[in-house]
Every structure is written in C-alpha cells, then in structure tokens.
Structure 1
Amino acid sequence: MDQLLQFLADNSGQLLIKTWEHFYISLISVLLGVIVAIPLGVALTRIPKVAGFVIGTVGVIQTFPSLAILAFFIPILGVGKVPAIAALFFYSMLPMLRNTYIGVNNVNKSLLEAGKGMGMSGMQRIRDVELPLAVPVIMAGVRVSTVYLIGWATLASFIGAGGLGDYIFNGMNLYRPDLILVGAVPVTLLALITDLLLGRLEKRATPKGLRDSEEAI
C-alpha cells in the first residue's frame, strides 16, 4: 500500500495524462461507431434481405481476438492511436448496429402509417417517429459498446497507443501489483461513470410519453 501511495504521489500528473489518453481512444471509437452503425442499422430495416448478412458479418468480426484485430491494422496504419481506434471502432459496431436495427424494426407500424397519412416524408418518419421511439434500445447498444471499449482499450498499449493499459502491462511484466491497480481502478471508474452518464442521456432523449409508460410498468 505504501508503494502504491508513493507511486501516486510521484506520478499523479502522468496518471491524468494516461487516463485522458484512455478515455480519448474509447470516446473516438464509440463516436465513429455511432456515426456508422446507427444510420446503417436504420438503412437495413429498409432492406431486410441484406440485414441478416450484414449483421452476421459484423458478428463474425466481433468473434476475432482483440489482439488479432489490433495486429491486423499495424501493417496498414502503423502503430499508435490510429490503428487502436480503428480496431476498437470495429468492435463497437455490433451492439449498436443490432440494437438500432431491432429498435427501429419494432416500432409500431400503425404509428408509421399515421405519420405517412399526415404527409410526412420517409426521412421525417425516421427522424420524428422511428428514432425517438427506438432510443431506449439504441442507447442500450451504445452503453454496452462504450463500457466494453473502455475495457478493451487497455490492449491498445500493445501497439503504442498509450492509455491506462501501459500501467497494467508494466505491472504484469515487473510483478508490480500496485501498477496493475493504478491502471485497473481508473478503467473501472471510467466505465461506471460513463455508463451512468449515458443512462441519464438515454432518459433525456427518450420521449416523455414513452418514458412515463416504461416507469408505470
């Protein structure tokens, strides 16, 4: 314990930098996943014959070992943060893509017909009817992806991307439990805090009527 406290006292500035690196890598990966997966999930509801193949392919990619994905991008993108973000982006896709497809696909069809009867265009129905009603399911996918990526981002240390994984793997190599704790505890706190914040965002984004009906159940 004394060794741990001494390390924190001597390296608090570096710990903050590593924590920011870890969060930055995870955040960018998730944002890229949101930008790609949610529109793609909506598009797949319009072409159900292709949806199974695309979601299945993404699911197969998800089964690849994390280190294998990281190693795959090294010859293409080199080492550092860019290949780490690219690999984590692929891992973020499946929960968000699948949940978006399921959430939008399960929207009450009578509501869509009502919107069509009111003269709403296809894009307006997506924006004003389908996405708001699918928010709880979509956000569940985003939360799962984000929490997973914060944990997986520790592996980015293997390709020089930095982050809290540096402490964990240095601790393993040097047989220093204090270093492992210095890396692992902030990763856990980051995941818990991010999940809490995304949960609050989900409540704010969910239409009030839908939120009230869920609370009444």
Structure 2
Amino acid sequence: MVFDQILQYFQANLNQYLIYVYQHLGLSVQAIGISCLIGIPLGYISHKHRKLSQMITLSSQALRIIPSLAVLFLLISFIGVGRAPALIALVLLGIPPILVNTTVGFLEVPAVMIETGKGLGMTDRELLKRVKIPLAFPFMMTGVKLALVEIISSATLATYIGAGGLGTLIFTGLGLNRMDLLLIGGVSVAMIAFTTSIFLDYIIKRSIN
C-alpha cells in the first residue's frame, strides 16, 4: 500500500521532488562551503596560538550545544524567515567539527618533518604548502565529512522557516499522517548523507595512501 503511494507520488510530482532535492543540496553545499572558509583558517590560526586555541575550541564546542532549531527561531527575530537564517544556523553547526579537526591535523604534523623541510631550505609558505597541509589534509577532510553529514541532516529543519528542501516532505507527511511522504523525505536525506560520507571517506583514504 505504502509502496504504491510512493510510486504514485513520483509519477505525479517528480519535478517537485527534484526541486526539493535541489534546494536541500544547494543549501547544504553553500553551508559547508562557508563553514570551510571560516573553520579551516581558524583551525590553522588556532594550532599556532595555544591560548587562542583554547578560546576558539571552547567557543566552537559551545555552538554545538545549542540546538539548530533554537538558533533558527532566534535568527527569525533579527533576519526573518527564508534561506538566510537557515544558512547561518547550518554554518554555525558546520564550523566546530571542521575547526577542531583542522587544529588537530596541524598539531599532528611531526616536528621532524618540519625540521627536515627547514633543513632543505623551505620557506614558511613552502612548508605550509608541501608539508603541513598535505599531512593535515586527512584530518581536515574528516572534519568536513562530519560537518557535511550534520548539515545535510539538519537542513530538513529549514522547512520551518520557508527555506524549502526535503524537510518539506517530512513535515508535510507528519502533518497529514502520510507515511509515503515521510519515507520519501527521510530516506532521501539519509541516502544523500550516506553517499556523501562514503565519497569523503574515499577521498580521505586516497589522501593517506
């Protein structure tokens, strides 16, 4: 029965479903991009200054404690509804794992590798480009993976403030008691998150080998 309803939905609403997927992916990709632009530089700065590292790490961990839904409703008071508050909330969610893993990645670079590079006459910029970043890259990508999976999952909440996405199917299904919509929305989000995780795991393994 539910399977038949799912088939009927796709037959009648395939274009609308693809729009939801596009909205969900677009919001998630934009959020992870901004999170990387903020989190990676902060992680690099953090590993160079230990006192600053503690402050940044504590601040990022504090962000993870605040529920995304609470951040969304708080932002509505200042920005209103739509894509902007959803994007800000997802970026705040994505920064901590990227920042923390980037910091750990640079801290894990063996001192002997840095000394060897200096012995070969490398400048600080060359050390960063040829030694530090390649060795820290697997840690950085692990942070990106964790952040992106969280962002994709949490982007369903964007529906609450009119930002669209697959959450529309989930919350419509809850409101109408439609199991087919719940399954379509929930499974779609899970598949996107799972596929993303597998792809980034592959990149991480390639970077190590």
Q: Same fold (TM over 0.5)?
A: yes
TM-score after normalising by structure 1: 0.91
1-structure distance, mates of 2:94, 2:62: 13
1:142-188 CA-partner distances (Å, limit 9, x unpaired):
11111111100000100100000001001111111111111111111
The AA in structure 2 aligned to 1:47 is H
Unmatched segments (≥5 aa) in structure 2: none
Report the CA distance between 1:202 and its aligned residue: 2.5
After superposition, the C-alpha distances for 1:44-87 in whole angstroms (9 at most, x for unaligned) are 11101110111111101110011111112223322111111111
The residue aligned with 1:129 is 131
Please name the residue that 2:34 is paired with. Answer: 32
Match of 2:192 in 1: 190
CA drift at 1:121: 2.1
Residue in structure 2 matched with residue 90 of structure 1 by the alignment: 92
**Structure 2 residue matching 1:45: 3-state secondary structure:** helix
Structure 2 letter corresponding to 1:14: Q
Give the counterpart of 2:60 among 58, 68, 74.
Answer: 58
Q: How many residues align?
A: 207
Tell me how far apart the structure 2 counterparts of residues 35 and 127 of structure 1 sit (CA, whole Å). Answer: 17
Q: Distance in 1 between matches of 2:110 and 2:126?
A: 16
Aligned counterpart for 1:202 among listed residues 196, 204, 208: 204
Q: Matched residues in 2 for 1:177 and 1:79: separation?
A: 28
Please list, as runs of the form range in 1=range in 2, the aligned pairs for 1:80-119 lying within 5 A after superposition. 80-119=82-121
Percent same amino acid among aligned pairs?
37
- Hey, what's the Cα distance between the residues in 2 that align with 1:77 and 1:109? 46
2:182 to 158, 163, 180: 180
Stretches of structure 1 lacking an aligned partner (at least 5 in a row):
212-217
Counterpart in the other structure of 1:47: 49
TM-score by length of 2: 0.95
Counterparts of 1:153 and 1:46, CA distance in 2: 33
